[in-house]
Structure 1
Amino acid sequence: MTEPSHDELAPLPEPTALPEPTALPEPTRPGRYVLAASVTLALALIGAALLVPVALRQAAPPDLSAVRTYDDLPVDHVDGRVAYDVTPPVGGPHAPAWLACGVYDVTVPDENAVHALEHGTVWITYTPGLPTAAVDHLADLLPDEGILSPYDGLPGPVVVTVWGRQLVLSGAGDDRLELFIEAYGDGHTAPEPFASCAGGVDVTGEPTTAA
């Protein structure tokens, strides 16, 4: 067999060009994402810590922890006006005649009302100008042994008082009013818990000594 001459040899193929190198993706920085996740988690925990107490307060039932207690109150009978330390008064020296139970649309003498407190009466006072619907609601809640009257200079819209105990309320719709009446409406804090405001004087303005 005859070998081909050099002139008859097939030309060598052209060298293939190498592909351009592909840029590798920039390596991720896991530390950056871990930090971001940590910050997000911390903010979420702070938010939860702030919101949970608020939710608990909103869900908590009303209680009587804000009731103020006054002990060792004198029970003397006096004539004329008395300068009481608490507004409205929770006890102390008072007129010989007690105020009759009921709903009053004008202010009543402290001295006669305090004598009613001595008998175990519940005294609900409200700021003058309270809406009529709110006053009617208070009247509906008033126990038989109770007095309802407006009062100037109260520390809150509504204040409920028995002898030696008092609670300032946010308004006529404050749920603590019923709790207070349930807890103290039996008159057990009064010096004469089995007496009554029935048969008292129906008086406004100056205190009276008349029975």
Structure 2
Amino acid sequence: MHDVTASGWLEFLNMRTTKNPFSSPNSNEPDRLGEIYRAAAEIICDKGYDATSMNDIAEAVGITKAGLYHHISGKRNLLFRIMNFGLDSLEEQVIVPAGAIADAEQRLRAIITNHVQLITSRSTPRGNNPITIVVDEVAGLAPAHRRKVDQRKRVYVNLIRDTLKELKAQGRLRDIDITAASFSLLGMILWLSRWYNPKGRLTPEQISKEVTSMALSGILRPRTRRARR
């Protein structure tokens, strides 16, 4: 794995080697929890966190409120779990694969492409990605949980920032501010969760190609003929 984010990756690896406090010996539990998280996220997107009740969520997944409390201790805990569920997917499908790529330009391309594919593949028929949206709704978290979520997000931001720093050192980056570029890129990708409609004319593959092309064109200097050879 490349060594552009030593402190961030150490932090990330420590998190991944810590036993998941939500794990269960029941092999069906992860699927059931995923169903609960997705249903709850969709309701929260529709009604807002404060207006969403445990009854709403129980009805959406077809279980009793008591049955829901068998899986979840309360609404605030549920919000934290939804965020971890989304961040786990981000780590597994975006951060880890991209982190294994030595070439900075190819790494950046993988970050964009994989993240776009993650969002579009999880979009609902109604045209949004509730998990991705809810991951940014941190106001309802307990302070300790918010710090943990922010810590996990920071690892990803650091991967992007340090990849751009590496490209700048290679003379491949346009004359742009790295912080502005990092968060603009993230905003471009994350906003897909609010507007992409899987029933629309653009396929996930087309969206991925378009977003990747636009992002790289805005971030990287055009290659000279000599560089292309």
TM over 0.5: no
Q: Which has the higher helix share?
A: 2
TM-score of the superposed pair, with normalisation by structure 2: 0.25
Q: Which has the higher strand share?
A: 1
Which has more radius of gyration? Answer: 1
TM-score of the superposed pair, with normalisation by structure 1: 0.26
